[in-house]
Amino acid sequence: MKKILEIKNVSKKFALRKDNFFSARKFFTAVDNVSLSLKENQTLGIVGESGSGKTTLAKLILDIEKPDSGEILIDGKDITRAKGKELKELRRQTQVIFQDPYSSLNPRMNVENIILEPLQINKIIKQEQIKILHSLLNSVGLPQNCLKKYPHEFSGGQRQRIAIARALALKPKIIIADEPISSLDVSIQAQILNLLKQIKDEMRVSYIFISHDLSAVCHISDKIAVMNKAAVVELAPAEELFKNPLHPYTQLLLNSVCDADPENKNDDIQIIQNDSNLSPSCAFAERCPLYDQKHCLSENNLSEVKKEHFVKCALSSQKKALYGDRNEN
Amino acid sequence: MKFENLKKSRTFKRFRKNKTSVIGAALLLSFVFLAVFAPIVSPPASSDSYLIPQAGYSQEPAPPSKEHIFGTTEQQYDLFYAIVWGTRTAFKIGVMVVFVSLLLGITIGGLAGFYGGWIDEITMRFTDIILSFPGIVLAVVIVAMLGPGIEKVIIAIAAVSWPGYARLLRGDVLTVKNFDFVAASRTMGAGDFWIFIKHILPNSIYPVIIVASLDIGSIVLTAAALSFLGLGSPAGYADWGQIIAMSRNWILGTSSNPFAYWHTLLIPGTAIFLFVLSWNLIGDAFRDILDPRQQ
């Protein structure tokens, strides 16, 4: 299958406010040397805690932010260096669904104008616009009589459907879903997830699905990348990652998912605080149960330990996991 | 929007429920009526209809009579004619000033908020400089430099009143530009102009409109003050501020009757008072209706 998106060694730093006029400017690294790729009609899940750089990565792909270094190839063309017409064309290929359906829809535009906006911007002929509009309403499951209504007249789930329709209007190849279900009611979450799945099959789009809800990510993704402190620490096919999580951070994440069975308590999660005065190369070292001075201070790169299973920590694949073995049950 | 839809709309209903807003609208409508039908209500005598006709050469004002229902003021200028045609002047000044200063304020405040960085820094420091002067003093200086005349008054007041709008709009633009729908629009390939017109302005302009409608009243007051100081319209021009300036010498009346010339002051004063009041009531009503907390 063709690679539709390739992210190569992308980094992004943000300048922090100076303490005073003379002090040196400090930086916060939001994305640190990340490389990922996405194949046609596949879903790449990105998980990680708040502040791990998931959303910044999405913004870089959408060209809302420019990376400090690295390349982002969409269909083989670098969006970070594209200009003018080429940039406009590349932007059409990636559309976004945001977490908060309240701030993602302009409250002063009605549904018709919201969904038509991308078509108007890209100057698609009027008759064509109307056709696309009605077929989009059908595919996201909105009634035809809602066109003149305003966003505040809809529930969160319906608003998210409007946002999905808008994202689909330009027939993009990649849709970035930045926590598309986290602000929705649990009963609605499944509906939206299934809608996204159905659209993927019908329109052959690829998704980048960003979430901290592991079960949702597992449900929809083909491959999952785990991010911690700006870096990808583990990358594996969804099933493999759940069965055989290697990086201690991935294990921590998986173990923090609540189980419906009250007997199955996650007692084995330990809060660990290692010596943070040393400056380890691994950002997770402070909380790592496998902490080993010699190892954590040396440079670690993402390396393939099994077929298609990449881990950033060499120790984790050698030592037995400390957070209980999920294969036991 | 069709009138039928307007009648049903929530905004219109709220407006009707609010008593003060109805009073304000009624007052304002009667002023509009007066301004539009000025040539019928008080037919002009000379070719320049803004020139108030004089009924003689005596300095002393004459009290209301059959020929001059509001009486005459200094130099026999007819008060009724001055009030009727002065309504046009008041609208001209109020609307023109608000239009010009809104245009300036929205452009400058919008650009500053939207682009940020050094554009923001330069424009906002410039507005700070203008805001640091008391408005009327700066307006006096500008008119003194440009010379008297209605157009100069409009320019002077517009030049001192746009910074308020610029600041107000900038603040809202800063909030709105971070909403997700702006980012979404950008990923669709929208340019700055599209985003500003379609997304930023419709979500940030309402507070500015409310303040502007409240300001029309005070703008007319400022213009009247400039006229009172002799910096406004030329002598004999139908302008409420000037009419009050003319009554300056007659405020104390005669030694036997202190209220001998009451009409020279009270009639133009009432006109200004009612005009400012009507805009304030309308502005208040707008604020109440468009307040998002009451939606």
Other C-beta atoms closer than 10 Å to the C-beta of A110 total 16
CB A95 within 8 A of CB A176: yes
Residue contact A117–B203, C-beta within 8 A: no
Question: Does residue A91 sit at the B interface (CB-CB below 8 Å)?
Answer: yes
Lowest mean pLDDT among A116-125, A245-254, B41-50, B273-282: B41-50
Please tell me the CATH superfamily of domain B20-36+66-294, with its number. Answer: MetI-like (1.10.3720.10)
Closest CA to B137 of B155, B157, B151: B157
Q: Which residue of B has its CA nearest to A63?
A: B187
Per the CB < 8 A criterion, the answer to whether A231 and A283 are in contact is yes
Nearest chain B Cα distance for residue A166, angstroms: 9
Say yes or no for a CB contact (<8 Å) between B188 and A91: yes
Q: What is the mean pLDDT of residues A144-158?
A: 88
Model confidence pLDDT, tens digit, residues B248-276: 777 777 777 777 777 778 888 898 899 98
In whole angstroms, give the CA distance from residue A27 to residue A275.
23
Residues paired with residue A72 on neighbouring β-strands, in sequence order: A7
DSSP label at B177?
A: T
Higher pLDDT, B283 or A224: A224
DSSP state of B166: H
**Domain boundaries along the sequence of chain A:** 3-14+29-241, 244-329
* Pairwise CA distance, residues A165 & A170, whole Å: 10
Residue A63 Cα, gap to closest chain B Cα (Å): 7
Selecting from A63, A92, A96 the residue whose C-beta is nearest the C-beta of B184 gives A96
Question: Is residue A265 less than 8 Å (CB to CB) from chain B?
Answer: no
User: In Å, how far is B179's CA from the nearest CA of chain A?
Assistant: 6
Tell the CATH topology of A3-14+29-241.
Rossmann fold (3.40.50)
In chain B, the residue whose alpha carbon lies closest to the alpha carbon of A171 is B188
Give the burial class of A36: count Cβ atoms within 10 A of its Cβ; 0-12 exposed, 13-18 middle, 19 or more buried.
Answer: buried
Q: Does A117 touch chain B (CB under 8 A)?
A: yes
| Residues contacting A101, CB < 8 A, separation 6+ | A156, A159, A160, A162, A163, A183, A184
| Nearest CA distance, A162 vs chain B (angstrom) | 12
Q: How far is B199 from chain A (nearest CA, A)?
A: 7
One-letter amino acid identity for A214?
A: L
Residues of A in contact with B190 (CB under 8 A): 117, 121
Torsion of CA A292, A293, A296, A297, to 10 degrees: -170
| pLDDT at residue B104, rounded to an integer | 94
Structure tokens, B2: 């069709």
Average per-residue pLDDT in chain B?
A: 84
Mean pLDDT of B61-82: 77
- In the numeric block, which tokens belong to residue B47? 């070719």
Are A63 and B187 inside 8 Å of each other by CB? yes
Question: pLDDT for A261-278, tens place per residue?
Answer: 767 665 566 666 666 565
Interface test with B, best of A120, A121, A152 (most B CBs within 10 A): A121
Q: At residue A325, does pLDDT exceed 70? A: no
CA end-to-end span of chain A: 35
- Provide ipTM, 2 decimals: 0.82
Residue A258 has what DSSP assignment?
Answer: P
Q: What pLDDT digit, counting tens, does each position of A205-220 carry?
A: 999 999 888 888 888 8
Is A148 touching B (CB cutoff 8 A)? no
Average pLDDT over residues A96-120: 90
CB atoms within 10 A of CB A143: 10
Considering only CB atoms, which chain B residues are within 8 Å of A106?
A: 179, 181, 198-199, 202-203
Residue A323 has pLDDT above 50, yes or no: no
What tokens were used for B48? Answer: 């320049």
A-chain CB neighbours of B176 within 8 Å are: none
Say yes or no for a CB contact (<8 Å) between A121 and B194.
Answer: yes
